[in-house]
Amino acid sequence: MKRLSRLFGGKKPAKTQPIVEASEIPELPNAIPTREAKYQIGQVLRHRLFDFRGVVFDVDPVFANTDEWYESIPEEVRPSKDQPYYHLFAENERTHYVAYVSEQNLVPDEDDARVSHPDIAKMFELTDHGYVLKAAQRN
């Protein structure tokens, strides 16, 4: 405390006031609203409408695929772009594939069965707590 006293000539440092209050900062017109992803890397999810499930291996905070891909979705079921999109190692009864799905179309999978996508083993270890990223895959 004596050092601070000497530094400020025996006076207490002045309390700083914010330059501007947060409520006074205008919204940026081109800013993307931020949202937190509801689901986690390694979580097993099921599609709300279609019969497939998968393990999350990546998340985009908002839509980050091509416009061509987005336009290929029928307009009546096309999800908004301003929500998280999940990359899944997906499977259905016939095949394995990588799926890109909006958050609104996913629900947690309650099935205890393993997801058998062949690429899961490259990124995840299956533990008693579910799919966990291998150490080499963690940022």
Q: What pLDDT, on the 0 to 100 scale, is given for residue 36?
A: 87
Res 71 pLDDT > 90:
yes
Question: Residue 139's pLDDT is what?
Answer: 72
- Assign 113 a pLDDT band (cuts: 50, 70, 90): very high
* Domains present along the chain, CATH in parentheses: 37-134 (2.30.30.390)
| Mean pLDDT within 61-66 | 96
Which pTM does this prediction carry? 0.74
Rg (CA), the chain: 23
Helix-strand-coil percent breakdown of the chain, rounded to 5? 20, 25, 55
Mean pLDDT for all residues in the chain: 87
Mean pLDDT over residues 82-106, rounded?
Answer: 98
Tens digit of pLDDT for each residue in 12-46? 555 666 666 766 767 667 665 667 899 999 999 99
**How far apart are the two ends of the chain, measured CA to CA in Å?**
40
Give Cα separations from 61 to 107, 131, 132 (angstroms): 17, 21, 21
Q: Name which residue leads in pLDDT, 7 or 41.
A: 41
pLDDT at 130 over 80: yes
Q: Given this model, what pLDDT does residue 138 score?
A: 79
Q: What is the mean pLDDT of residues 93-107?
A: 98
As a whole number, mean pLDDT of residues 38-62 equals 97
